[in-house]
Structure 1
Amino acid sequence: MLNTVDMFRAALRINVFAVLLSILLLIGALYIYSGNSHSFRWIFQQDNFPMTHVSTTSCEVQEYVNNCGNWSIGEFRMKVGLKYAQPSTQKGRTDVNSVTNWNAPLVWEGTFDPVVIDAIYKPMNPRVAVVVFAVGKYTRFLKGFLQSAEKHFLVDFRVTYYVFTDNEQDVPKVELGSARNISVVPVPSAQHWQEVVLGRMEWATKAIDNQIRSKADYLFMMDIDSVFHNRFGAESLSRLSAVLHRGYYKDSHRDKFPYERRPQSKAYIPAGEGDYYYTAAVWGGYLEDMYRLVKHCYIQAQEDSKIRIQAVWQEESHLNKYLLYNKPAKVLSPEYLWSDYDPVPADIKVVRVSQLIKNYKEVRPNAGNR
């Protein structure tokens, strides 16, 4: 039988354990709490997917807890159920390569199931920023871009379009879906189109620092003279996603790519090096990874300007140099940026975004054609 001293010691141990447990629970609660009463930071780990920081409001958290209790995202799907076609190890696209030599997905129509992809990403409720530039006469393309994006770009996700423009009055009123917004960012006018191209990296870097960082988990840079025609969905999300340039994706020899070949330039890629040639008209990724990439292009272009040199294809040349040594986590096929100038070949099963035919000499001063 326990004597009084033993009973006291046992009670003391229980009380100490209860105090320690309370402290641990308090630390956990403080860790989740983001610093104000309306925002939380959650981290979800998906099988075969990288850690993703995702913000959600306290109301959404409460709704999730009320509906799901302490279920994990995987447990939630198990209880609710999800119907989709069975994946196969033997069937799939055989006319194109669907994986890079660094084992990153190369995304084509027929290489993913949109039902499964959405089921993975939608519960995370990520915030996506889209940066576009509509300077000078390029404001004419805003309405078509925004209206088509509302039909096809990350539908049912939280999206904010950051429109950089010198003509705020020309930004059209477009009907937006729930949790989708337009934010206008004033920028100065330009006398030469090269000023806009090179200025994009500077303006985007400053905007991320000053206003976008706290409001987005992913960021895409896109050309405004484009229209969405089909789904551009969560299959595009990754740490860094780059799009194969439609003009060079079939070239069998990398020395044919229009890389910057002058050693004086910071964008220089020597002959015999290179993976693919990526377009600078569409690219995206985690906000901080995109920030490092955008800032890198900005700084490298500045370094070039000090010795009075400009990379052959401006920021696209610096983008390709960066991605050669910092491999993208996903490579998106030319479906994600085709062009109305070009016929659609058999391997492009669906055109998701296409650049519009336009008179370059009319919309941009001192313009060449590309």
Structure 2
Amino acid sequence: MTAPLGHQGINARSLPGLSWSGSPYGMSLNHKILSLAVLMGLVIGVLYYYLYMHQPFWFQCPVKTTSDRPKSMIRYHEFRLVAPENLAYKQPSIVHGRSDVVTVTPWLAPIVWEGTFQPALLDGIFKPRNITIAATVFAVGKYIRFLKDFLETAEQHFFVGFNVHIYVFTDQQDQVPYVKMAAGRKLELCSVPSSNRWQEISARRMELIQVLIEEKLQNNVEYIFCLDVDSKFHGRWGTESLGGLVAVVHPGYYRDDRSRFPYERRPQSRAYVAPGEGDFYYCGGAFGGLLKEVHQLAKTCRTNFEEDAKKGIEANWQEESHLNRYMWINKPSKVLSPEYLWQDFKPRNPEVGIIRFSGVIKNYAEIRPNA
């Protein structure tokens, strides 16, 4: 009688060549070892799947390389902040400081006020890197009258001791005043056409800033600030303002509830900010940051403005409306307090310890062609 499959008796005398003899249903030992190996492989595979692929806490999660990450997550990072070794400055504190104002946003961007930074320390960090800061200013039509004060006060207060290139967009190059500039600082004129509508001049700023960056600044400048010409400097504006994307809180609305902000409220516009949305109301007359960040802002705002124009829509405050929409979605990495663009007709509030830059008093009906 033949033994059931797989149950033949095995002894030393019955292992010639490590094989079974006898029944035609018998299996060679080599085949049995192979089957056992396959079974063990399956068991190990199952264990590997549940223990490694499910990543319990005792296994380390594999780290993705930069090339594996989604491209939208890759952002330009600023350089390390390396301070001079022997620079003396007041000891910083995390328990004492400004208590009358907020100095950080909900997304953890610093809000710059007087008393929140050490000028010598920041200058000591940035100076060795030999950075260049560009500034754009538009002096079109009767706004040319403000250019002299702007340029003269910029020489006294705007990034003093650094390389500064100021680009003046104007339709009256022969009326640009001469202002002596320090070493490392220069003025360049950019010709633009006149307009019968001040709104058109305002709206084209983003396009002109985008083109300037693409055609002239890409390899020569690290940071850029876009400033209103009908303003002047009164105090230091320097390295404390440098950041990726930099916004200035509007002095007219920084104490108000956002329901009072003059955002564009028509849903048909690409500048639309819905009721209950928005962070701060930012100035269109002062913004800046790293060159690539400002380029992206200008390009996006220009595109959105042109899409609105196709539908016959002009945002409530032209480029300022589009800028506010952009910065609600793309949060600024540094926010400058109203010290950085006050309004001369307003009395200074107690929390504003210094006015660094301000819009001068003027008669809009007289200087704007269609006011």
Same fold (TM over 0.5): yes
Distance (whole Å) between structure 2 residues aligned to residue 138 and residue 215 of structure 1: 28
After TM superposition, give the deviation of residue 283 of structure 1 in Å: 0.3
Code of the aligned partner of 2:307 = E
Whole-angstrom CA distance in 2 between matches of 1:51 and 1:265: 34
How far apart are 1:206 and its partner, in Å? 1.5
Instruction: Show the counterpart of 2:279.
Output: 275
CA distance in 1, matches of 2:304, 2:82: 42
Letter in 2 for 1:198: A
TM-score (norm. length: structure 1):
0.78
1:52, distance to aligned residue in structure 2 (A)? 3.8
1:241–1:332 Cα contact (<8 Å) kept: yes
Conserved 8 A contact 2:258-2:278: yes
1:312 aligns with 2:316: yes
In the other structure, the counterpart of 1:294 is 298
Equivalent residue for 1:180, pick from 156, 176, 185: 185
| Equivalent of 1:341 in 330, 341, 345 | 345
Deviations 1:48-95, CA, capped at 9 Å, x for gaps: x94249xxxxxxxxxxxxxxxxxx955xx22xx101111112211000
What's the CA shift string for 1:148-188, capped at 9, x where partnerless? 00000010010000000000001111010110000000011
Write the deviation string for residues 101-151 of structure 1: whole angstroms up to 9, x where unpaired.
000101100111111111111111111110000001111111100000000
Structure 1 position 254 matched with structure 2 position 258:
yes
Q: Decide which of 51, 55, 63 is 2:78's aligned counterpart.
A: 51
Please give the alpha-carbon distance, in whole angstroms, between the structure 1 residues aligned to 2:82 and 2:293.
25
**Aligned twin of 1:352:** 356
State how far apart, in whole Å, the 2-side matches of 1:256 and 1:172 are.
40
Q: 1:17-166 residue pairs with structure 2 within 5 A?
A: 50-52=77-79, 74=83, 77-78=84-85, 81-166=86-171
Q: Is the 8 A contact 1:104 1:331 kept in 2?
A: yes
Within a 5 Å distance, the mapping from 1:3-22 to structure 2 comes to none
Query: 1:265 corresponds to which letter in structure 2?
Result: S
Whether contact under 8 Å (2:338, 2:352) holds in the other structure is yes
Counterpart amino acid of 2:202?
Answer: V
SS in 2 for 1:162: strand
- Of the structure 1 ranges 357-366 and 322-331, higher mean CA displacement relative to structure 2 is found in 357-366
Which of 215, 222, 225 is the matching residue for 1:220? Answer: 225
Question: Which residue identity does 1:107 align to in structure 2?
Answer: V
- Partner residue in 2 for 1:20: none
Aligned residue pair count = 296
Alpha-carbon separation, structure 2, partners of 1:119 and 1:174: 28
In the alignment, residue 277 of structure 2 is paired with which amino acid?
E
With over 3 angstroms needed to count, the CA separation of the structure-2 counterparts of 1:164 and 1:52, relative to structure 1, is farther
**2:288 corresponds to which residue?**
284
Counterpart Cα distance in 1 of 2:135 and 2:357: 14
Q: Displacement of 1:256 after TM fit?
A: 1.6
**CA-to-aligned-CA distance 1:243-295 (integer Å, 9 cap, x gap):** 000011011x2222111110000000111111110001000100011001011
2: CA distance, partners of 1:167 / 1:326: 36
Choose the corresponding residue for 2:307, options 300, 303, 327. 303
Unmatched segments (≥5 aa) in structure 1: 1-48, 54-71
Q: Tell me the secondary structure at the aligned position of residue 181 of structure 1.
A: strand
Shift of 1:212: 2.1
1-structure distance, mates of 2:260, 2:148: 36
- 1:226-253, Cα deviation, whole Å (9 max, x unpaired): 01000001000000110000011011x2
Q: Supply the AA of the counterpart residue of 1:234.
A: T
Residues 117 and 240, structure 2, Cα contact 8 Å, conserved in 1: yes
Q: Is the 8 A contact 1:114 1:235 kept in 2?
A: yes
Kindly provide the amino acid, as one letter, of the partner of residue 339 in structure 1: Q
Structure 2 Cα separation of the partners of residues 239 and 345 of structure 1:
29
Q: Distance in 1 between matches of 2:153 and 2:260?
A: 34
Q: CA RMSD in A?
A: 1.5
CA distance in 1, matches of 2:78, 2:251: 31
Runs of at least 5 residues in structure 2 that lack an aligned partner in the other structure: 1-75
Q: Is the 8 A contact 2:135 2:167 kept in 1?
A: yes
1:199 to 178, 200, 204: 204
Rounded Cα–Cα distance in structure 2 between residues aligned with 1:144 and 1:93: 32
Change (3 A) 1:276 1:73: closer
In 2, Cα distance between the equivalents of 1:333 and 1:243?
6
CA shift at 1:213, angstroms?
2.0
Please tell me whether Structure 1 or Structure 2 has the larger radius of gyration of its CA atoms. Answer: 2
* Contact 2:78–2:244 (Cα < 8 Å) also in 1: no
Give 2:340's aligned amino acid: Y
Query: Secondary structure at the residue paired with 2:204?
Result: helix
Question: What is the one-letter code of the residue matched to 2:269?
Answer: S
Distance 2:286 2:123 in 1: 21
SS of 1:85's equivalent? coil
Partner SS, residue 156 of structure 1 = coil
Maintained 8 Å contact 1:73/1:123 = no
